Structure 1
Amino acid sequence: MRLTVLGCSGSVGAPGAACSGYLLSTAGHRPVLLDCGPGVLGELQRYAEPIDVDVVLSHLHADHCLDVPAMLVWRRYAPRPATERAVLYGPPGTALRLGAASAEIPGDIDDISDTFDTQEWQHGSEVSIGGLEFLPMQVNHPPQTFGLRITGPQDQVIAYSGDTAMCDEVVDLAQGADIFLCEATWSHAPDERPPNLHLSGYEAGQIATKAGVRSLALTHVAPWSDAETILAEARSTFSGPVDLVRAGQVFDLTA
Structure 2
Amino acid sequence: MKLTILGSSGSVSGPVNPASGYLVTVENSPSVLVDMGPGVLARLQERQDPCDAHVVFSHLHADHCLDFPSLMVWRRFHPTAPAKGRNLCFGPESTPEHLGRLSADGDVVVDDMSDTFAFAPWRVGQEHIVDRVSIVPFDAVHPVPAYSLRITEHTTGKVIAYSGDTGWTDNLVDAARDADLFLCEATWGAGDGDFPPDMHLSGAEAGRAARLAGAKRLVLVHIPPWGDVDATLAAARAEFDGPVEVGSPGMEIEF
Q: TM-score, normalised by structure 2?
A: 0.97
Aligned CA RMSD, in angstroms, stands at 1.0
Q: How far apart, CA to CA, are the structure 2 residues paired with 1:20 and 1:242?
A: 19
Q: Give CA-to-partner distance per residue, 1:103-122, whole Å, 9 cap, x none.
A: 12123211111111111000
**Which residue of structure 2 aligns with residue 47 of structure 1?**
47
Listed one character per residue, the Cα deviations across residues 155-214 of structure 1 (whole Å, up to 9, x for unaligned) are: 111111111010010000101111110000122445253222100001000101111111
Say if 1:186 and 1:192, in contact at 8 Å, map to a contact too.
Answer: no
In structure 1, runs of 5+ residues without a counterpart are none
Structure 2 residue 184 is the aligned partner of structure 1 residue 182: yes
2:155 counterpart of 1:164: no
What's the counterpart of residue 2 of structure 1? 2
Alignment of 1:112-127 (within 5 A): 112-127=113-128
SS in 1 for 2:165: coil
**Secondary structure at the counterpart of residue 46 of structure 1:** helix
Whole-Å separation in 1 of the counterparts to 2:13 and 2:129: 31
CA displacement, residues 21-70 of structure 1 (integer Å, 9 cap, x when unaligned): 01001111111101111110000011110111110110011111111100
Are the equivalent residues in 2 in contact too, given 1:205–1:237 (CA < 8 A)?
Answer: yes
Change beyond 3 A, Cα 1:33–1:238: same
Aligned-pair CA distance for 1:141 = 1.1
Pick which of 159-168 and 192-201 moved more: 192-201
SS across alignment from 1:218: strand
Which amino acid in 1 is paired with 2:238?
S
Moved over 4 A (4+): none
1:1-255 equivalences under 5 Å are 1-79=1-79, 80-152=81-153, 153-191=155-193, 193-253=195-255
Partner Cα distance (2:190, 2:244) in 1? 17
Distance, in Å, in 2 between the alignment partners of 1:75 and 1:189 is 41
Determine the C-alpha separation between the residues in 1 that align with 2:16 and 2:2.
Answer: 23
- Identity level (%): 47
Q: Is the 8 A contact 1:20 1:63 kept in 2?
A: yes
- Helix, strand or coil at the partner of 1:74: helix
Deviations 1:50-104 (A, max 9, x none): 1111101100111111111000000010021112111111011100000000012
Equivalent pair of 2:191/2:204 in contact (CA under 8 Å): no
TM-score by length of structure 1 reads 0.97
Question: Deviations along 1:108-139, whole A, 9 cap, x unmatched?
Answer: 21111111111100000101113001111111
Counterpart code for 2:42: G
Three-state SS of the structure 1 residue aligned to 2:211 is: helix
Identify unmatched segments of 5+ residues in structure 2: none
Letter in 2 for 1:156: K
Report how many aligned residue pairs link the two structures. 253
Cα deviation, residue 225, structure 1? 1.1
